[in-house]
Amino acid sequence: MKLTKSETIRECEKAFIDTINEGLDREALEKILFEKYNFTLQEDIDYKKGDLMVYNDTIAYKFDFEIKVPLSVIFNRQGECLEISTERDNPEEEGEDDLFGEENTLAPPISSEPDGKVAQMASNIADMISDINQPETEHEDE
């Protein structure tokens, strides 16, 4: 025996999720992204969808967002990655030279030794990909 229409339940669930989304602290979310993944966002966080789910035997809310992250990659002439950064750097501030900005300038030698900073960034990216690829536990009534 049905007590209500399934369409009514879905509409109320969507309104409930939308209300939670409106109350999310976007600045706190950006702070978490920076602290955990060292991401500095280029644009606002773009909400895609939300849902109610069970996560580790607890009722939870899952929100899907899209973000745009600036990415700077520095690699040497051998193709080895020297640094990855999600913040746009100003080359002038760090003493880096734009080799094509002046004629007849030779590039300074670049060390091919692995940098701890690069290893840490690679580890952070691997952790992030692992977090993203974790299997979801969603139960839907059909």
Tokens found for residue 29: 């979310």
pLDDT at 109: 45
Q: Read out DSSP for 98-112? A: -TTTSTTPPPPP---
pLDDT greater than 90 at residue 5 = yes
Compare 101 and 2 and report the one with higher pLDDT: 2
Helix, strand, coil fractions of the chain, as percent rounded to 5? 35, 20, 45
What's this model's pTM, rounded to 2 decimal places?
0.53
pLDDT greater than 70 at residue 133 = no
Q: Return the biggest CA–CA distance within the chain.
A: 84
Q: How confident is the model at residue 6 (pLDDT cuts 50, 70, 90)?
A: very high
pLDDT greater than 80 at residue 89 = no
Angstrom distance (rounded) from CA 79 to CA 76: 5
pLDDT greater than 80 at residue 8 = yes
| High-pLDDT (> 70) share of the chain, % | 63
Contacts of 68 (CB under 8 A, 6+ apart): 41, 42, 43
pLDDT at 37: 83
pLDDT at 104: 39
For 15-74, the pLDDT digits (tens) are 999 999 999 998 898 898 888 888 888 888 889 999 989 999 999 999 999 988 888 888
Instruction: Give the HSE-up count for residue 6: Cα atoms under 13 Å, Cβ half-sphere.
Output: 4
| Residue in the block written with tokens 């990659």 | 73
